[in-house]
Chain A
Amino acid sequence: MSHAEQLSGMFLSRRAMIERMGGGLGSLGLLAAMPSESFAGMVAPHVPAKAKRVIHLFMNGGPFQGDLFDPKPMLQKFAGQRPAEADLRTERKTAGLLPSPFRFRQYGESGVPVSELLPLTAGCIDDICVLRSTYTDNPNHGPALLMMNNGTILPTRPSMGSWMSYGLGTENQDLPAYIVLCPGKPVRFSILWTSAFLPGSHQGTYINHREIAAEKLIPFLRNMSTSRTQQADQVALMGELNRLQLQRSGPDGQLEGRLQAMETAFRMQFTATEAFDLQQETRTTRENYGEGHFANGCLLARRLSERGVRFVQVYYGDGQPWDTHSNHHDAVRNLCKDIDRPVAALLTDLRERGLLDETLVLWGGEFGRTPTSENGNGRDHNHYGFTTWMAGGGIRGGMTYGETDDFGFRAVQDRVHIHDLHATILHQLGLNHEQLTFRYAGRDFRLTDVAGRVIQEILS
């Protein structure tokens, strides 16, 4: 323990300590050692953690389950018709059933069927648990994005990443605990990674990785006019002057905390820059991931996860590229071409580096799409039933869970609400979703509101 740490350990009140931690529970051991006083949200992990971190591959816009992981031969039989079961109201008016033209095959030892659109991802199917019966509450992008990311349709609640950061803290003081990568801006933007009423340090750090230059990724990371040695002089001077003040004022956790944060910031300029430097990857690795924003996002996700970033979200693209209201079949071919190689490379890479067991990968959109047609060749939003999948982090691979109806419209068996998905992810991280709470405005808030069930059936 450094002198500084001893000092703060001795003289910080519990409240000051929490403030210094950015209100997080990152340093549970330290906090637990302090005199007990009620601190809302302060919960020790309840279950042994299987996963240390999460990567969320977010297909913003909403892919159609029936093209990719949930084959529905009955669509052929009833093509163009609108049987009673498929007569569900979505955002827009849809017509008769529109079969998926894409063929499925069984892959891996498990024999889970995957579409011809994702041949490389299919090669990893034995690591993947396909959740065919996911559903959400609202067929409108905004509310559905909020439900997937914040566990509520209200734009006033913390995002799941900030809950994770709050619950687990960070593994790497030089990097944010929660990083959002998007080559552009998703619809609803920053509200999707807000910390809302949780302390601001748990906010997701949004990075537009269209251009991968570290100084553009983290605000004010690089100084263009001051050299590193000049800055080292500055940091040394501030350190000396701040310590003089500390001597005069007597012990003070806030002053000490800010002093240390300055030194961390100085180091962070170099560690963070290194983390975002894809040039450091071998040519083989770069080739495995392929080219494009999503490939870069996946590779960055691995680099950041490796360095202890708790939650990395990779948005597929700017706006909502998977929102295929027209020309669905052509669009989905291209979209899948973009994601297949990077997704497979990420899973393989994580496995080869021994990281897959402790890294939970989540794939999916904010909802799915209708098996019925819109505009003749498009598909509308479908919140009744869609596919998401998880891999690694203690999730059983090579299985499907839940079923949609004969047309893939509505989840009918072993239904998985987004709350259940969140509960399960938190569980894998060692957090009980009912006890990860924060007292605000007179009550305890949770990511899962008053719902959520850990899907025990898919845990390995």
Chain B
Amino acid sequence: MHVVFQFDAVLWVPADFFVRRTVFNGNQMILALPFRMLLTILFLNSGGLWPGDLWLNNAVCGAEQTESLEYFERQVRPLLNAHCQECHSSTTGQDNGALILDTVAGIATGGTRGRLVHPEDVDRSLLLRAVRYADTDLQMPPKGKLADADLEILEKWVRDGAVLPEYKEAPRPATHAIDFRKGREFWSFQPLRSVDVPSADTEWCTSVVDNFILHQMKQNGLYPSPEADAATLLRRLSFDVTGLPPSVDELNAFLSNAAWEQAVDRLLSSPQMGERWARIWLDLARYTDFTPEWQSPTDRGWIYRDWVVKSINDNVPYDQFVKLQLAADLLPDTAPEDLAALGFLGLSPTYWKELRLAPSVIEQIVADEWDERIDAVSRTFLGLTVSCARCHDHKFDPVSTEDYYALAGVFASTQLDERPLLPAPEAQKVRDARARVQTLEAELKVLKEKKSEDAQRVEQEIAGIRANTPGFDTPFAHVLREASIYVKADGDELTKLEYEEARPRDLPVFRRGNPANAGDIVARRFLTVFQQDAPAVFQDGSGRRELAEAMLNQSGGLLARVIVNRIWEQHFGSGLVRTPSDFGLQGDRPTHPDLLEYLSYQLVEHGWDLRWLHRTILLSAAYRQSSAWREDGFAADPDNRLLWRMNRRRLDIEMWRDATLAVTGQLDLRPGGPSRPIDDPENVRRTLYVTVAREELHPVLRMHDFPEASAHSPRREPTTTPLQQLFVLNSAWMEKQAAALSNRIRELENDHSRIEMCYLLMFSRSPSQQEYDLAQKFLNQTTAGEPHAGAPAVAGDPAVESVSDQSAASTAARDVRWKLYLQSLLGLNEFHFVD
């Protein structure tokens, strides 16, 4: 039982003790109780809940002290608990100014802004400033100012000397520390292991992939779907490998020999394969053709794009593919043309830095750029969301803020650059020559304005330099250079960026992601979770080469699993792991863990040979299943996670546009080089070569789910919207395609053969009788207002099949109907999906 005594504030005191109150020194309170008795009270009343030691400081102990102490426990601590603990507890405080208010030690130490109280200058106390809302930048609690009575309690406590119980200087609570040992046990972080192939029904299995798939289907009472028909299979394989439909010749050849393995090998060695698969990589790499206006804008992203295409066509081993993109400039014996690989980072987004703003603002923006690079690298290669550890340790995965800033240091020591892809000495000569010419051109402009005779001399000098510098016009690719960036004040008003060549920079941890709130410096190194011993510090320049090597050597298993899954996802329409860029704790778990493990292990065994992986998958019976719906399959596994059938897939914009151009006979297959806009009417090249602008994605690309080029995009998210269908119905491009197709089939014998050809080109099959009848009905229909409609031979006679005896006017009318018909075919679901 407790009794309430009313004084300046409410006091809770156990009733079984006699307590006498007096006023002393104005409003300080004294409890006239023997010291040891009070201590007993505190203990009894604590219920063992008070953290920290309660032994009072002997040096200043006394009744006055005791009373203040009690005041703290009765008044102040409950208040802090009620209003502050949500963000400033032992578990949450580290993230919030490192201020911990549920332990005495924490209250005594304060946070990153310093001590909480200044008893000698009460009003300067951070605590009071915050709760009084005196400082516009620090107002606590953020949800609303405390009641006046509460403010008075805190003020009084501080005025009275902010007395606290004694506490032991304890290390910061370790509740937050990541248990890396435990972290390593997570499935995706473990080293690759060899798995046994389950024995299975050999009649169905044609690739080792099938043993795994069938095994798991059987475990769940499912069975595979029958093989799709040959035409469907070839159409599927063609789109899948090259992004293009099979030609009619290819179709006929396959229908006659049904040689699957031969077809797989033919398509895998087609130069069109690199064009289809490069785009998948470019989504991850947030590829753009243009860099923004505030740099010196360039349109030379294509050099990197073409390098990706070529690497895929050359079947560059994946480990090499990774290393070149991160550190081609730092590897021994890199061929000059392979420096283009650096475009992965060389084309990174940059954010506008207004140098009229304070350095603290600009530092944040620079840190945002590092963050984007960490995000792109970690998600693309590792399937890890390392960026989540920017402000606090990763909430789910074993990635600490130290890990994050250890990587950020690598990017702080790396700058974007441009250079011609020539051997270093020549490249330097070209750079110097270009710089000189730029200066001369500026001079020339002035001279010409002045109509000076010297103009001719300068012109000649420019011509001379151009003529005498081999490779002068070689386009500059987006690459990287070894230099560190520093943000510094430039006088009182401005900010400047300084670069230091070849002097790598280790960063401090930015607490809560705030560059103004720097913690300990972290040496550049790879993630702790992948290193059994103390993490190895990078020694060589920025550390990009060591980063790439660490990724392959220390987290090679994860790298392999991530790329295997990405390739699987493209072939089957969904991954074994459905979060292709998150293999962490929050990510999906593999549907077929052993299969993923087997393929990943074997990929590394095969020297990271991606062609081997494609082939192994494509030769499977699982891949050749029909996509037809099955009631039992749907009931058991509606999302088809166990692959009891093939997934039906919507063509992405690239495949759909390319297929349309191919079918209408217009596709220009010349590879590589600068991009052209998608709305350029003359542009009939593959969609890979359509301009992608990070600043402003073209509406046609956007409406067809093309990803923003501003950040890593793990996978396309297909949407179905009426805007896409307006494009089909109304765009001039679609009408043009219909006209082109109409021309392509015009010379064929009759309507029947024309319709037949359209179906073969578009759907790799012949029309059914019903489809043929519908076509005839449509072609023979006339509509009021149609140009040249109502020709007597056609009107009212839908059965007419031959056009040979019609008048010129009715031929024109038929022509219109044909175009309308072909446009409709191009808009059909069947043309937009692959079975």
Contacts and interface: CB of A to CB of B under 8 A. Distances in A.
A32 interface: no
A6 interface: no
Nearest to B724: A261
Contacts of A259: 829
B730 A221 contact: yes
- Most B CB atoms within 10 A — which of A11, A221, A255? A255
Interface in B710-733: 710-712, 717-731
Given A19-B719, A226-B820, A156 B372 contact: yes
Given A200-B702, A453-B143, A245 B629 contact: no
Interface string A1-39: 000000000010101000110110000000000000000
A214 to B, nearest CB: 12
B45 interface: no
Interface string A202-243: 010000000000000011111101110111011101101110
B833 A254 contact: yes
- Most B CB atoms within 10 A — which of A194, A220, A222? A220
Given A412-B136, A441-B375, A443-B385, A230 B786 contact: yes
- Most B CB atoms within 10 A — which of A194, A258, A268? A258
Contacts of B58: none
B387 A22 contact: no
Interface stretch (A58-66, A88-96, A364-372): A88-96
Contact of B357 (A20, A140, A266): A140
A340 B726 CA distance: 38
Nearest to A194: B708
A249 interface: yes
A442 B396 contact: yes
A169 B634 CA distance: 28
B711 A156 contact: yes
Interface in B699-713: 699-700, 702-703, 705, 708, 710-712
A156 B820 contact: no
B824 A238 contact: yes
A234 B729 contact: yes
B426 interface: no
Contact of A442 (B356, B388, B708, B730): B388
A321 interface: no
Contacts of B718: 19, 254
A442 B727 contact: no
Interface string B127-150: 000000000100100111000000
Contact of A255 (B634, B695, B833): B833
A184 interface: no
A250 interface: yes
A221 B396 contact: no
B395 interface: yes
- Most B CB atoms within 10 A — which of A199, A200, A254? A200
Contacts of B703: 200, 219
Interface string B461-493: 000000000000000000000000000000001
Contacts of A269: 726, 729-730
Given A138-B357, A238-B824, A242-B829, A252 B648 contact: yes
Given A238-B824, A411-B136, A245 B829 contact: yes
B785 A197 contact: no
Contacts of A153: 365, 368
A254 B648 contact: yes
A189 B720 contact: no
Contacts of A22: 719-721
A244 B827 contact: no
A451 B368 CA distance: 19
Contacts of A442: 384-385, 387-388, 394, 396-397, 582, 584, 586-587
A233 B781 contact: yes
Interface in A169-195: 173-174, 176, 189-191, 194
Contacts of B801: none
Interface in B754-779: 768, 770-771, 774, 778
A348 interface: no
A317 B328 CA distance: 47
A442 B718 CA distance: 20
Nearest to B585: A442
Contact of B729 (A231, A244, A258, A443): A231
Interface string B816-835: 10001101110111101101
Contacts of B821: 237
A229 B785 CA distance: 8
Contact of B827 (A197, A201, A238, A268): A238
A254 B727 contact: no
A262 interface: yes
Nearest to B134: A412
- Most A CB atoms within 10 A — which of B349, B584, B726? B726
Interface size range of chain B in the complex: 35 or more
B45 to A, nearest CB: 36
A238 B708 contact: no
Nearest to A413: B133
Given A200-B719, A252-B648, A441-B379, A189 B696 contact: yes
A20 to B, nearest CB: 6
- Most A CB atoms within 10 A — which of B368, B395, B717, B821? B717
A353 to B, nearest CB: 27
A261 B722 contact: yes
A142 B352 contact: yes
Contacts of A443: 385, 388, 395, 586
B725 A262 contact: yes
A257 B720 CA distance: 7
Contacts of A142: 352, 354
B639 A265 contact: no
Interface string A89-124: 101110000000000000000000000000000000
B698 to A, nearest CB: 10
B820 A233 contact: yes
- Most B CB atoms within 10 A — which of A222, A240, A251? A240
B783 interface: yes
B142 A453 contact: yes
A241 B828 contact: yes
B358 interface: yes
B770 A244 contact: yes
Contacts of A252: 629, 648
B256 to A, nearest CB: 25
A290 interface: no
Nearest to B647: A254
Nearest to B389: A442
B717 A264 contact: no
A261 B708 contact: no
B597 to A, nearest CB: 23
A229 B587 CA distance: 50
A196 interface: yes
Contacts of B721: 22, 200-201, 261
B259 interface: no
A446 interface: no
Nearest to A189: B696
A382 to B, nearest CB: 13
Contacts of B387: 441-442
Given A200-B717, A238-B824, 13 more contacts: A11-B629, A156-B372, A189-B696, A197-B711, A201-B719, A231-B729, A245-B829, A257-B720, A258-B832, A261-B720, A262-B725, A442-B388, A443-B586
8 contacts: A19-B719, A194-B708, A200-B717, A230-B785, A233-B820, A242-B828, A249-B628, A249-B648
Interface of A: 11, 13, 15, 19-20, 22-23, 89, 91-93, 138-140, 142, 153-156, 173-174, 176, 189-191, 194, 196-197, 199-201, 203, 218-223, 225-227, 229-231, 233-235, 237-238, 240-242, 244-246, 249-252, 254-255, 257-259, 261-262, 264-266, 268-269, 410-412, 415, 439, 441-443, 451, 453
Which 9 residue pairs of A and B lie closest in terms of their CB atoms, listed nearest first?
A442-B385, A250-B629, A265-B725, A265-B722, A223-B730, A13-B638, A220-B726, A220-B730, A264-B722
